[in-house]
Structure 1
Amino acid sequence: MISILKKAYQNRYFLLFILVFAYVQSIYIRMIVRREIDAYIFTPEAALATLLNAGLLFWVILYFIKKWQVSNVLNTMILLKIFIASLLTYMISMKIIGLLLALIFDTVERNFNKDAFTYSLFSDLLDGIIYGGFFLAYYYHHHSRKQYEKLMIYNDALAKSKINQLKNQLNPHFLFNNLNILDQFIEEDKEKASDFLNEFAEIYRYVLKVSEKELVSLNEEAAFARQYFNLFQYRYGKAYRLNLDVKDSNGFIVPLTLQLLIENAIQHNLGTEDDPVEITIRIDESIQAFNNIRLKRNAKPVSGRALKNLEEQYRILTQKPLEVNRSADRFSIRIPIIHSLSI
């Protein structure tokens, strides 16, 4: 009983709609039959009886849905089978209930003569079609919405899992590259190595903090990018130059995006103080980054793994793709700004 009341409460608006519809229907039928308006026309007992009968029909439909609807995919033939079987079962049940009541109150002759039986049969058929149609439309709409919500939850969890997997590929890459630089400093200049290590510790603290985030603010990432570039100035001086221009800081970005762009430019290009590699990052309606190309001699073939990794993250988070262009002397990339933390 408690379960039934709970279900009724959960679907109270649908049941209220059925009751109101049945009440309007009863008023309309009485006005046609009686051809006059009086207080009896507006009494609600017929609507309440219709609601009870509809409840029986709904229970029958649910029974056949559980029996035959084995897949979450809606099948027209299965739906038609459920509807016809439910309609026949409902009509037979109504006749059996009507016969039992007629036997109890000794009204069999009045209620089951040819005219009365035909009228009640047609009435049950019409009500079954109308209210059964209402219920099936409501049930499958509600079912589809729940399936959609489950799918959204699943896709969201899958996207977050994928993003975490991609970040786990980037972070070791970041760590090992800088440890190699530190190793070189230890051999060449221990004092510089100590300063570098302190700077690196601050930067990696940021990396650990944002590893659990899907997005960070543009201001936060820009500040990190400047601090990160300082690490390379320990090693290369003015052989690499960064021009980071933030014209519009509204929005969010995938963590470590700017760091990756800076690292790629430095890793694949050889700069000198006389002929530096110029790295420019402009943040306005989008993020535009470009650098001149001075490829290192005997450099390892470029795998592009880190950039593909970044492209995959943005593919998951936004419908706008990254735009990458390469020429003989220039590399450029355009990255969309994400304007919502809701993924």
Structure 2
Amino acid sequence: MIVLFWAFIATILIFQLLAVDEYDLPKAITYSSMITGTFAVYVHVVLRKIIKKYIQTKRISSLIFWVFITAIVASTILTIEDYAIDSFLSHDWNKHKETMLPQFFGMLMATILISGIAYSFELYRHHIETLKATQVLKDSLNELEVKSIRQQLSPHFTFNMLNNLQFLIQKDKNEALKLLSQYSKILRYYVYESQNKAILLNDEIAFLKTYLELEKDRLKDEAKVDVDISIEPNSLKIAPFILSTFVENAFKHLSIDSKWTSVFIHYKENQLCMNVQNTYDNKIDSGKNQQGIGLEQVTKRLQLIYPDKHVLEFDKTDSVFSVQLNIKFD
């Protein structure tokens, strides 16, 4: 874009000069090349450094002052250059002296105009760089949070699985092998699938179904677990651990006395709807928020990954904690 811009300026100047009788093509190219080259050096060596400095500090008054000062200096150099070129080409060093002052003001106007264009380009460049830096920061934050989630596979859940395995190995080896197979799928998902920035929605759902089956087997008759999952065939992708975090949170904070949880997930017409409810103990959770670190992290990730495309609501009523999540896919 920079090369094309200066080539355009040089070409326009050549055509202007060719309209004057005393300029032929070689003279017009020589004059245009020198004047355009001086403008380019002024913009890229001097002006851009000043603009960059004061854009970052947002000191507009200082920016205007220094641009005006440098524009005067550049216009003076361009006027002398213009006089020297015209005098050399016409072989008359006294012919153009009386036109130097009008030439100076003409060059000053041109310099200020080009300075304004350079400022616009630099402001646009600064805006793009800021957007890129912000996006890199968001991606880094998202990756760190995913790694954190991956490394925090619930110890409580793991210990329960190991205890169940120990008990089933002695009682029912076939059932123990089945449980071990399901648990290995859970671990594989945490270790491998979570390395990706996005996974298939169907894989996340398959993981949740396996997780829910494990929790049902673990809790047996101690808790009532209602599951309603209906997903249309699709090839959509979703960030890992978005849905599973809410389900894990429900079992983590399950009430001691009245154990009940409900998981409702439907996908239709590019809209994913998820509702997770669980009973919780008021006395135990009165001094701490049900929305722990896991929910804080997933809330931030939703804001980063699906801005303006999701609705997330939490609700506490009658010892029941509820999460409602809607995600709109393009």
TM range (shorter): 0.7 to 0.9
Task: Tell me the amino acid that sits aligned with residue 164 of structure 2.
Answer: F
**Residue number in structure 1 paired with 2:124:** 145
Shift of 1:280: 1.9
Give me the CA root mean square deviation.
3.6
Q: What does residue range 64-103 of structure 1 map to in structure 2 within 5 Å?
A: 64-65=46-47, 68-69=50-51, 70-73=53-56, 75-94=59-78, 96-97=80-81, 98=83, 102=87
Mapped to 2, the partners of 1:328 and 1:248 lie a distance apart of 36
2 CA distance for matches of 1:107 and 1:42?
Answer: 17
Corresponding residue for 1:304? 291
Shift in Å, 1:57: 3.1
- Show the 5 A alignment for 1:32-71: 45-46=27-28, 49-65=31-47, 68-69=50-51, 70-71=53-54
The within-5 A match list for 1:146-161 is 146-161=125-140
Q: Which has the larger displacement, 99-108 or 218-227?
A: 99-108
The residue type paired with residue 325 of structure 1 is D
Q: Which residue of 2 aligns with 1:327?
A: 317
Match status 1:164 vs 2:164: no
The verdict on how the C-alpha distance between 1:184 and 1:331 changes in structure 2, with shifts beyond 3 A counting, is same
SS in 2 for 1:260: helix
Q: Is the 8 A contact 1:215 1:252 kept in 2?
A: yes
Partner of 2:7: 16
Instruction: List aligned pairs for 1:262-341, cutoff 5 A.
Output: 262-270=247-255, 277-284=261-268, 285-291=271-277, 293-295=278-280, 299=284, 303-305=290-292, 306-320=294-308, 321-328=311-318, 330-337=320-327, 339=329
Gaps of 5+ in 2: none
Q: Which amino acid aligns with 2:276?
A: F
SS at match of 2:240: coil
Deviation at 1:244, TM superposition (A): 0.9
Please tell me whether residue 123 in structure 1 is matched to residue 103 in structure 2: yes
Match of 2:167 among 166, 188, 195: 188
State the TM-score, normalizing by the size of structure 2: 0.78
TM superposition shift of 1:142: 3.1
Question: Does structure 2 conserve the Cα–Cα contact (< 8 Å) formed by 1:251 and 1:337?
Answer: no
Check whether the contact 2:201–2:238 (CA below 8 A) recurs between aligned residues. Answer: yes
Structure 1 residue 225 displacement after superposition: 0.9
SS at match of 1:108: coil
Q: Deviations over 1:255-290 (max 9, x none)?
A: 123322222222333599x98543222233132213
Distance (Å, rounded) in 2 between the aligned partners of 1:236 and 1:42: 94
Mapped partners of 1:71, 1:80: distance in 2: 9
* Paired residues of 2:280 and 2:319 also in contact (CA < 8 A): no
* Count of aligned pairs between the two proteins: 314
Unpaired runs of 5+ residues, structure 1, are 1-9, 35-39
Identity %: 13
Q: Are 1:174 and 2:165 an aligned pair?
A: no
Give the secondary-structure state (helix, strand or coil) at the position aligned to 2:143: helix
C-alpha deviation, 1:18, in angstroms: 0.6
Matched with 2:94 is 109
Aligned residue number for residue 242 of structure 1? 227
Secondary structure of the residue aligned to 2:144 is: helix
- Tell me whether 303-312 or 56-65 shows the greater mean CA deviation: 56-65
